[in-house]
């Protein structure tokens, strides 16, 4: 669960500076949440598009993927399929089987939240029906990009050897990863309270109190429907 690869770039900064990424190979970015990993990708994507180099963003969550695509300036799969090999695209790993690996030769693949994304690829129930096709396409795409001097960018606040090792195996060649690590940490962490119960009634009661007090509240659930799903809580509030 640790990252033991030596760092080519090691900093301690609240926000990532402009990084001179290698133009090919595997790049690993380990940086705390909220330090600007997505912002650091914007000039990389702009340069790739200026040189007709396709960019493929892969993630495990649709809403996250749409947000990232909007930030870095590429299309999400629901909005536009690639019409030409140089078109860029973002999609959830569940849809990986729809792609042709040859379309991404010499391109850039961005794996955001790579630790969770690879877990999703290998274990998520939403990939179950097409997992073999998804894994085959993923492996072929990684290998094709690497063998045509393309670039794989894997980034995560918790980046570990597991992800880098796995990508190296998929590339099917000896390749030394380029690693950047930002060791910045906030002065203090978050205050976290655990409600030791399977019944979230007490949590929702606290939510009511906080809303009445004028606090901004962010609520996330593991389902949309049901008694305590996001739709139900939304209607209740």
Give the residue-averaged pLDDT of 101-107.
94
Determine the pLDDT at residue 58: 96
The answer on pLDDT for 115 being more than 60 is yes
Buried b (16+ CB within 10 A) or exposed e, 173-202: eeeebbbbbbeeeeeeeeeeeeeeeeeeee
Of the CA atoms within 13 Å of residue 150, those in its CB half-sphere come to 27
User: What is the pLDDT at residue 208?
Assistant: 95
- Write out the E strands in 66-107: 89-92
Per the prediction, the chain carries an average pLDDT of 91
The pLDDT of 102-106, averaged and rounded, is 94
Q: For position 80, what pLDDT does the model report?
A: 53
pLDDT at position 69 is: 94
Per-residue pLDDT tens for 169-225?
999 888 999 999 999 998 888 888 888 888 888 999 999 999 999 999 999 888 888
Q: What is the DSSP letter of 71?
A: H
**Full-model pTM:** 0.82
Dist. CA 69–CA 38, nearest whole Å:
10
Residue 84 — very low, low, confident or very high, per pLDDT cuts 50/70/90?
Answer: low
pLDDT digits (tens, 9 = 90+) for 120-169: 999 999 999 999 999 999 999 999 999 999 999 999 999 999 999 999 99
């Amino acid at each position: 669960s640790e990252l033991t690869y030596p760092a080519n770039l090691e900093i301690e900064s609240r926000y990532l500076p402009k990084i001179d990424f290698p133009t090919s190979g595997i790049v690993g970015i380990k940086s705390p949440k909220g330090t600007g990993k997505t912002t650091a990708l914007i000039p990389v994507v702009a340069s790739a598009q200026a040189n007709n180099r396709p960019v493929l963003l892969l993630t495990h969550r649709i809403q996250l993927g749409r947000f990232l695509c909007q930030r870095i300036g590429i299309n999400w799969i629901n909005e536009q399929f690639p019409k030409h090999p140089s078109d860029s695209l973002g999609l959830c790993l569940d849809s990986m089987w729809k792609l042709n690996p040859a379309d991404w030769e010499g391109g850039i693949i961005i794996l955001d939240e790579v630790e969770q994304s690879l877990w999703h690829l290998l274990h998520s129930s939403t990939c179950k029906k097409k997992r073999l096709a998804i894994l085959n396409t993923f492996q072929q795409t990684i290998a094709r990009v690497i063998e045509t001097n393309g670039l794989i960018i894997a980034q995560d606040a918790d980046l570990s050897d597991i992800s880098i090792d796995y990508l190296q195996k998929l590339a099917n060649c000896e390749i030394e990863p380029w690693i950047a690590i930002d060791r910045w940490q906030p002065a203090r962490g978050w205050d976290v309270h655990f409600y030791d119960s399977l019944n979230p009634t007490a949590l929702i009661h606290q939510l009511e109190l906080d809303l009445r007090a004028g606090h901004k509240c962010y609520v996330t659930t593991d389902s949309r429907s049901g008694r305590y799903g996001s739709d139900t809580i939304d209607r209740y509030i």
